[in-house]
Amino acid sequence: MDSEELAVLIHLKRANVDYGKSIALNTGIPLERVLMILDRLEDMGLVERVRGGKTLKRSMARFKLSSEVRKHHVYYRLSRRGELLVRGIRRGQ
């Protein structure tokens, strides 16, 4: 796992739920690369797409500015396996 993949995982840990363009802006990684990383992490079972509903509350997506937003993007969050990996990385620091 490279440093950009770790940056995406750690960002998702902080944000809880986010989409590709926002992840790219917050991590400084180009959007195309972020989308490839998200696909790879999803294949590895470390992130999952957020399903259901047409809106997200700010309590779920911590970096959102309004209290509720409509979903216009594909949102991702850490899977249980991803949570455990990030937790282990943070403890090892």
Q: What is the pLDDT of residues 6-23, one digit of tens each?
A: 999 999 998 889 889 989
pTM, two decimal places: 0.81
AA letter at 22 = S
Task: Determine the Cα angle at 24 with ends 22 and 30, to 5°.
Answer: 150
pLDDT of residue 89: 82
Alpha carbons 9 and 90: distance in angstroms, whole number: 11
Please tell us whether the domain made up of 3-92 is placed in CATH 1.10.10.10: yes
